[in-house]
Structure 1
Amino acid sequence: MFVNFRRIRKCQCVQLAATCFVVSLLMVCWDQLDHHVVSHMRSYSYRYLVNSYGFINSSFALREGEASAEHRYLLNHPERCAGSEVLLLLFVKSSPENRERRQAIRDTWGNESYVGATQGESVRVLFVLGVSPDPEPRERRVQRDLELEDQSYGDLIQQDFLDTFHNLTTKLLLQFRWGHAYCRHARFLMTADDDIFVHMPNLVRYLRGLVRSGAAKDLWVGHVHVGAPPIRRKDSKYHVPHELYPWPSYPDYTAGAGYVVSGDAAAKIYQATLRLNSSMYIDDVFMGICANAVGVAPREHVYFSGEGKAPYHPCIYDRMITSHGHADDVRSLWRAATGPGARRASAGVFGKLYCAAVRVALLCKPYYQNTYPCKAAFS
């Protein structure tokens, strides 16, 4: 029996090279691997403690004598909800420069007259803004344009804080405080980004069904992030340092692109905003902290979108409520989603079978897409 030492050495060299390649790959990709796999596993295991105990709420509690900041209104319309029943008070988070997005929303899903005429319900749509962070001459010009826009439509609510990513929580506080001050009789409150599409007929039918069934108590519904970890990478827009939030998991919360709370839940969350420090600048996370403090838990709805766009297809439009990432195609999507073709696609037994197959094909693809989950195809 002879041993081929040359072959053994060759195999060892191949193994060593393969090991070095794998180690090098792990070192290069460790930040991504840690963020997408390790940190999620760690945070999910910590999730029960975060959701079940009050240590996070205690750490964000305002000290005695300390008060949460109040900002002055630059544009306001306290009469918008006066003297009428309101099914839905809908706040659209917008930036001062995004006039075209606001106009597209007014012309489509945010048209209050359309909802009243076709659905027989009262909906109030308001755009919430801060002040342009641009240099002063441009800021003055943007502000003049906003004032002219508001004279035409009367639907802008603006306070004197800089309209930046790190002030999104300030914008959240504006919504809940305005709702409490001027429209607390609204059955539901919704917050949405200005690049979102809302299928208003489907949303109104859903909310009416909740009222009829008595399921609207302590409601907070949207696309739920379960056991999400803080992002520690300093190059990320969503970076949160340990000093601000030292725990490995956030409370469960809904994606800030679009979610709905019932009137009673909105009142509780408003009270929480008065007691908690708003230093957490990621608004949907701060919403989760406030809701957790008053015992309101988020509910998943499969047709509230996450950060991704919903697939374009009549069989999806039949069920969709929100879809995110529509800065330029709101008008065309509105025509397609509310036109007669969207209903015809799922009409009859064969239509239902066809749409069921289409939804499986579109929503259950083997790659990750943060919009509607696969289970939406079967709901």
Structure 2
Amino acid sequence: MFVNFRRIHKCQCLQLATTSLVLCTLMVCWDQLDHHMVSHVRSYIYRYLVNSYDFINSSFAVAPAAGYPYLISHPEKCSRGGDRKAGGEEVLLLLFVKSSPDNFARRQAIRDTWGNETFVRSQLGERVRVVFALGVHPDAGRRQWMQRALLREDRVNGDLIQQNFVDTFHNLTAKLILQFHWGHRYCPRARFLMTADDDVFVHMPNLVRYLRGLLNSPAGAKDLWVGHVHRGSPPIRRKDSKYYVPHELYPWPSYPDYTAGAGYVVSGDVVAKIYLAMLALNSSLYIDDVFMGICANAAGVSPREHVYFSGEGKAPYHPSIYDRMITSHGHAADVRWLWRAVTERTLQSSGFMQNLYSTAARAMLLCRPYYQNTYSCAAAFA
């Protein structure tokens, strides 16, 4: 009896210590946990029960503001070597890469791999135009030197589009407006426009195949906005967060639906609609993908989910993923390696056993018990 009592006593002490540790942790983290849970509950109630974004055309309406002047531009980019009608030749895709002035190596890696227009024309039989959107260097002391370097880079490659705003996180909305203004004005015959970060990998053969399928579908490619969709996301109110948005700037509990800014595609007709909405709405909201959602909501355009457009996460390295991926985020250093992996890969036979193996491999990689902000579990079976 004495031995059993001691064992029970030790067990109870362990339980008490564990319970005390959990309670202490909850007390320390409660404010943050409570804020996180409450904000998401409120956001989802607003999104799925109220869903009234009528503030778009009232509180966000402003008089049109003058845009930033262009420092580098190529108005002829969509009219070279072909049909020189107003608006230039018809291209399948105008692809803007959001880049920072310092990121010379990233831009060159993209030119050498998935952003190579010659490869797409010769190997895939389509015209695409790839340009890099950027502002001026944020460090005033380095700005003049950096601008000379950018002009030299552009003389060699002819693919920089730059406006005279400071290239910082809080000016990402200005960079978004640059893309839609330039595309609307200088490349109106592009069937699609894509925007992507300069650390995003784009599987160009899969993307071209997907866009062709849209054009050949019975519905055609109208009112299209496709990517990794965020639904019912709440504004972040923590002042220590990069994405902090004060109530004064955005007082509502939920954002309109939007796609992750890492990479998404819109159809040509949507470019004009979004650009007109941008002229009439307050662009002081510096989170560019959210501002895109506000403009699209005002224009009557809804985002469409595609399971192989990545969010903020990096796609797993596996052949069964390469065969289907369109974008993957977080590739600042391995773009060339990944490009070789996807272009030199010989597709396996599409028999039953091979398909079963590929599905099982994707399920093991994507259907994990913890959240992974890249492809959803549904991508394994799509």
Question: CA offset at residue 337 of structure 1?
Answer: 1.3
For residues 58 and 31 of structure 1, the distance between their equivalents in structure 2, rounded to whole angstroms, comes to 34
Closer, same or farther: CA 176–26 of 1 in aligned 2, 3 Å: same
What is the TM-score of this pair, normalised by structure 1?
Answer: 0.91
Partner of 2:286: 281
Q: Does 1:171 align with 2:175?
A: yes
Partner of 1:196: 200
Question: CA offset at residue 22 of structure 1?
Answer: 4.5
Which runs of structure 2 are paired with 1:63-82 in the superposition (5 Å)? 66-82=63-79
Question: CA offset at residue 58 of structure 1?
Answer: 1.7
Q: Does 1:377 align with 2:380?
A: yes
Which runs of structure 2 are paired with 1:251-270 in the superposition (5 Å)? 251-270=256-275
Which runs of structure 2 are paired with 1:113-128 in the superposition (5 Å)? 113-128=118-133
Partner of 1:24: 24
Q: Does 1:310 align with 2:300?
A: no
For residues 366 and 182 of structure 1, the distance between their equivalents in structure 2, rounded to whole angstroms, comes to 47
1:290 maps to which of 272, 282, 295: 295
Partner of 1:360: 363
**Paired letter, 1:266:** V
> Secondary structure of 1:292's match?
helix
What is the TM-score of this pair, normalised by structure 2?
Answer: 0.91
Unaligned runs of 5+ in 2: 1-9, 80-87
For residues 170 and 258 of structure 2, the distance between their equivalents in structure 1, rounded to whole angstroms, comes to 18
Aligned length: 364
> Secondary structure of 1:228's match?
coil
For residues 365 and 49 of structure 1, the distance between their equivalents in structure 2, rounded to whole angstroms, comes to 30
Q: Does 1:146 align with 2:155?
A: no
**Paired letter, 2:374:** T
* Identity across the alignment (%): 74
- The C-alpha deviation readout for 1:5-40, integer Å capped at 9, x for no partner, is xxxxx9999999877655432232235424543321
Question: CA offset at residue 148 of structure 1?
Answer: 0.2
Closer, same or farther: CA 188–49 of 1 in aligned 2, 3 Å: farther
Which runs of structure 2 are paired with 1:197-236 in the superposition (5 Å)? 197-213=201-217, 214-236=219-241
Closer, same or farther: CA 158–68 of 1 in aligned 2, 3 Å: same
For residues 51 and 266 of structure 1, the distance between their equivalents in structure 2, rounded to whole angstroms, comes to 25
**Paired letter, 1:24:** C
> Secondary structure of 2:59's match?
helix
For residues 149 and 283 of structure 2, the distance between their equivalents in structure 1, rounded to whole angstroms, comes to 30
Unaligned runs of 5+ in 1: 1-9
**Paired letter, 1:205:** R
Partner of 1:7: none
Which runs of structure 2 are paired with 1:305-344 in the superposition (5 Å)? 305-341=310-346, 343-344=347-348
Verify the 8 A CA contact 2:53 2:256 in the aligned structure 1.
no
For residues 51 and 132 of structure 2, the distance between their equivalents in structure 1, rounded to whole angstroms, comes to 32
For residues 248 and 23 of structure 2, the distance between their equivalents in structure 1, rounded to whole angstroms, comes to 32
Verify the 8 A CA contact 2:131 2:159 in the aligned structure 1.
yes
Q: Considering only aligned residues, what root-mean-square deviation do their CA atoms show, in Å? A: 2.0
**Paired letter, 2:345:** P
**Paired letter, 1:145:** A
Closer, same or farther: CA 247–351 of 1 in aligned 2, 3 Å: same
> Secondary structure of 1:158's match?
strand
For residues 90 and 128 of structure 1, the distance between their equivalents in structure 2, rounded to whole angstroms, comes to 10
